């Protein structure tokens, strides 16, 4: 049936464990390495003077044309297996080279602050328990 909605997360949030195992995410980064025999790609993003990498399992999106150094958008589920680091099981991998990363970040933050704002107003206004 329909998969779960993939919420936008930043690459540095994925590795820090902010996202639970099995959750669907959408993230982006520059392709720094690709190992076709292991179906493994690594995306990297720069933030707060640090380089953050996300490992992608590309089995379901192969074959794709890997352009090293290009920006990619990945959509998939988080896998938090014990022996390996956090990685994303990709369902969608699109090359978005040329994207304005700063603007994309701004848009994601804008959306987040809107949802936070909305949740606050709803929790603030005493909602009568709606028996649906």
Partner 1 sequence: MQASAIGPAEEPSSILWGLDPIFSAFARLYVRDILQMTESTQVPGIYFYNSHPINKVDILGTVVYKRERDDFFCYGVDDGTGVINCLCWKSDAFKEEDHSVREKHSVEAYGNFNLVTELRKLRQAQKERSCLDIGEVLRVRGWVKTSRQQREIMGSTYYKVNDPVMAVQIAWMMEVPRLYRECYNKTIQLNPTATGDSSVSMFSKATNIIKDFFKQKMVTRFRPYDIQDLLQPLVFSQPQKAPEDQPVAGLSACQQLHQLLKKVLEDLQNEGVIYRRVKSQDEVYDVTVQDKDLLLAVKDVISQDSKREKHAEKGCHILHILSAVRQRHSLNVSRAALELVLKSLECSSDIVSTSDSHYTVF
Instruction: Give the list of residues 6+ apart from residue 128 with CB closer than 8 angstroms, or none.
Output: none
C-alpha span between 86 and 9 (Å, rounded): 14
Give the integer Cα–Cα distance in Å for 78 and 90: 9
Binding status of residue 4 toward partner 1 by CB under 8 A = yes
Is position 18 an interface residue for partner 1 (rule: CB under 8 A)?
no
Q: Which is nearer to partner 1, 40 or 91 (CB)?
A: 91
| Nearest in space to 72 (alpha carbons), one of 52, 104, 49, 97 | 97
Between residue 57 and residue 96, which ones bind partner 1 under the rule CB under 8 A? 61, 73, 75, 91-96
The yes or no reply on residue 46 touching partner 1 (CB under 8 A) is no
Residues in contact with partner 1 by the rule CB under 8 A: 2-8, 26, 61, 73, 75, 91-100, 103-104, 106-108, 110-111, 113-114, 118-119, 122-123, 125, 127, 130, 132
């Amino acid at each position: 049936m329909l998969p779960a909605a993939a919420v936008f997360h930043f690459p540095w949030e994925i590795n820090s464990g902010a996202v639970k195992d099995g959750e669907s995410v959408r993230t982006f980064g520059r392709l720094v390495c690709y190992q076709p025999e292991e179906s493994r790609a690594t995306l990297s993003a720069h933030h707060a003077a640090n380089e953050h990498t996300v490992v992608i399992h590309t089995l379901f999106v192969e074959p794709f044309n890997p352009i090293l150094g290009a920006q990619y958008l990945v959509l998939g589920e988080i896998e938090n297996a014990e022996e390996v680091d956090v990685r994303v099981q990709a369902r969608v991998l699109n090359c978005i080279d040329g994207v304005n990363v700063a603007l994309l970040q701004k848009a994601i933050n804008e959306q987040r602050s809107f949802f936070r704002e909305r949740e606050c107003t709803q929790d603030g206004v005493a909602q009568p328990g709606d028996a649906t």
